[in-house]
Structure 1
Amino acid sequence: MEVRVVIADDSLFMRIYIKNLLKNSKFKVIGEASDGCEAVTIYKELKPDILLLDLTMECMDGMTALQRIMEFDPCARVVICSAMGQSRNVIAALSYGAKDFIVKPNFDRILLTLNKIF
């Protein structure tokens, strides 16, 4: 079974890195977003199985994007992947509906977390 993933991160390097990390797994990257507005739009268009979402982005921050996505789809599987790992951010993201919070650069957890969710 192929699991469809969208990566939303303002860093092209991070999007490429995560895409390569998922390359030889059951997770297929079907879309990318470079800011929060684009993340919401792409989520609504593609309806991925999982969205990996950064918090610090232009246009709309990841926390606001998370809230908009959860309003659109309360069953959305969103995993926050951000360097902004302060406890208040983690608690807020989980309370808004994120399935998990991965603190960059702990990339070993990405595959573990995605496999746990799917």
Structure 2
Amino acid sequence: MALKDVRVLIVDDEIFFRTVLREIIGKIGFTIVGEAADGDQAVRQYVALRPHIVIMDIYMPEKNGIEATREMLALNKSANVLICSASDYDSDTQAALDVGAKAILKKPFVPKEIYETVKKVLGGK
């Protein structure tokens, strides 16, 4: 799969982090198909846009990233959700992995880490 063919949905309640991710993902060459500011928007956009990768914050209003990940995986057991968090609490990141997130990305973001994680999750394609 070519880099431009990888469709990404960005989910974070903070516009700053969405902007940073948009810039990093654009420079890597992936295609951003949408953005959401909370878990409810994320699930709706996931259904409508069918991205290959969802990069989702844990802590958001309305519905957090763990609940939204659970819903996405209930809709599609092959959903590729990468949870991003500035949290150092292992219980939060472990809870995300327990519901089916494929990986954890730490804030602040490192472009190489995002690229390598997406490549690994997509099977090196």
TM value normalised by structure 1: 0.93
1:18 and 2:46 correspond = no
* SS of corresponding position for 1:64: helix
CA RMSD of aligned residues (A): 1.2
* SS of corresponding position for 1:84: coil
The equivalent of 2:51 in structure 1 is 48
Q: Greater CA deviation, 100-109 or 27-36? A: 100-109
Q: Which amino acid aligns with 1:88?
A: S
99, 103, 110: which one pairs with 2:102?
99
> 2:72, 2:87 → 1: CA distance?
20
* SS of corresponding position for 1:56: coil
> 1:104, 1:8 → 2: CA distance?
13
* SS of corresponding position for 1:24: helix
- CA shift, 1:77, in A, is 0.3
Q: Greater CA deviation, 106-115 or 50-59? A: 106-115
**How many aligned positions are there?**
118
Q: Relative to structure 1, is the Cα distance of residues 32 and 39 closer, same or farther in structure 2, using a 3 angstrom cutoff?
A: same
* Consecutive unaligned residues in structure 2, runs of 5 or more: none
1:37 and 2:37 correspond = no
* Consecutive unaligned residues in structure 1, runs of 5 or more: none
